[in-house]
Amino acid sequence: MTLLDVQDLHVEFVARGLDNQLRIARALNGVSFTVAAGEVVGLVGETGAGKSLTALAAMGLLRPPARIPRGSIRFEGQEIIGQPDRVLEKIRGRRMAMIVQSPLTSLDPLKRVGDQLVRMQRVHGTARGAAARAKAEAMLAAVRIPDPARRMQAWPHELSGGMAQRVLIAMALVNDPALIIADEPTTGLDVTVQAQVLDTLRDIVAARNLGALVITHDLGVVAHYCQRVAVMFAGQIIEDGPVQQVFARPAHPYTQALIASTPGRIAQLGWTLTGGTPPDLYNLPTGCLYRDRCPRATTACLAPPPRIAVSDSHGAACHFAGEAA
């Protein structure tokens, strides 16, 4: 069952420069993807590719100067774009929950962990009183926090980074949402802690048949915790498909360059010069946005590339996606 269905999403920012001219940054340029129950979808890309913006849009959290000129975001069949906050507030934290990068700043420093979990339920009317406390404690146990009864009384500043991230996961899950959006959930955590937190998240998602959208810049997280992956570049999804297929046979030159620049591949294949600056969002070229950096670019790339399927579930927005590299 499809939980989240994003189609042709465009997001732009309007800013006024020093010269008093209005300038429009086209941050998202036609993003389409779906997340179904029981699957973990990875949204991967580099800084400024639009990953977090996509997540914020899906949560209905975009505020001016951001605006959505085109596109649709459907969650459980209901359109999100244009909904007033009072409607969205019933969805956010209830049916659709978000886990953000900095756990310690996302917890209320003046409230005990248990009280925050209880409040989360009371706000959404899912439970109150003793039932809410019992549910809160059960959630802490579910995210594998040792001695949950004692941790209910803990203050946020007493938690380590990994523990705080687990509490945040518990907060996200306490109202039994259908969809989890995790924005760089383990960035900044130590390797050993990251692995434990991700294991916890994956096991819960599987056990409860949730849908999850994991936003990350870390290909390792995608490779081991996601079933499907969507690769973003300059506000577009340039390749999507099952993780194993995309890593084994990346079809878009950008995905190929990205994988080739992981240290492990460099050690095997030597240095391949990559990099280059992403296109100027204020002044986007027409046609393929990766054209200027692409080793395969031809005049064909002056036209916008369609998504070309390379298998029934794997496709890339490149004129040459079907051909061998």
* Distance, CA of 305 to CA of 236 (rounded, Å): 11
Minimum distance from residue 224 beta carbon to another protein (Å): 5
Q: What is the per-residue binding string for another protein in 36-75, x denoting contact by CB under 8 A?
A: ----------xx----------------------------
Q: How far is the CB of 132 from another protein (least distance, A)?
A: 30
For 182-193, b where at least 16 C-beta lie within 10 A, e where not — what string? Answer: bbbbbeebeeeb
Of 289, 280, 292, residue with least CA distance to 317: 289
Residues 256-275 that bind another protein (CB under 8 A): 257-264, 266-267, 271-275
What tokens appear for 322 in the block? 């079907």
Closest by CA to 254, choosing from 299, 321, 322, is 321
Between 77 and 146, CB nearer to another protein? 146
Site string for another protein, 141-180 (x = CB under 8 A): ----------------------------------------
By CB under 8 A, residue 297 contacts another protein: no
Query: Least distance (Å) from another protein to the CB of residue 83?
Result: 27
Q: Which is nearer to another protein, 46 or 89 (CB)?
A: 46
276 lies in the site for another protein, by CB under 8 A: yes
**CA-to-CA distance for 262 and 285, rounded, in angstroms?**
28
For residues 256, 309, 77, 50, the Cα torsion angle rounded to the nearest 10 degrees is 20
Please identify which residue in 84, 207, 277, 324 interacts with another protein, judged by CB under 8 A: 277
Please give the full DSSP string across 37-82, using - where no structure is assigned.
Answer: TT-EEEEE--TTSSHHHHHHHHTT---TTEEEEEEEEEETTEE-TT
* Pick 213 or 258: Cβ nearer another protein: 258
Binders of another protein among residues 207 to 266 (CB under 8 A) are 217-224, 243-244, 247-248, 257-264, 266
Q: Please report, as a single letter, which amino acid is at residue 98.
A: M
Exposed, middle or buried: residue 99 (CB in 10 Å: 0-12, 13-18, 19+)? buried
Nearer of residues 177 and 253 to another protein, judged by Cβ: 253
Q: How many angstroms separate the CA atoms of 16 and 277, rounded? A: 23
- Under the binding rule (CB under 8 A), the answer on residue 102 touching another protein is no
When asked if residue 282 is in the footprint of another protein (CB under 8 A), the reply is yes
User: Per CB under 8 A, does 284 bind another protein?
Assistant: no
DSSP class per residue in 131-160:
HHHHHHHHHHHHTT-SSHHHHTT--GGGS-
Cα–Cα distance measured from residue 220 to residue 229, given in angstroms and rounded to the nearest whole number:
12
Place of tokens 């009864």: 149
- By CB under 8 A, is residue 34 in contact with another protein? no
* Structure-block tokens of residue 142: 């579910």
Using CB under 8 A as the binding rule, whether residue 324 contacts another protein is answered as no
Query: Which residue lies nearer to another protein by CB, 122 or 247?
Result: 247
Residue 272 or 298: which CB sits closer to another protein?
272
Total residues at interface with another protein (CB under 8 A): 48
In the chain, the N- to C-terminal Cα span, in Å, equals 35
Q: Choose, by CB under 8 A, the member of 147, 190, 292, 323 that binds another protein.
A: 190
Sites of contact with another protein (CB under 8 A): 13, 15-20, 23, 25, 46-47, 190-192, 194-196, 199, 217-224, 243-244, 247-248, 257-264, 266-267, 271-277, 282
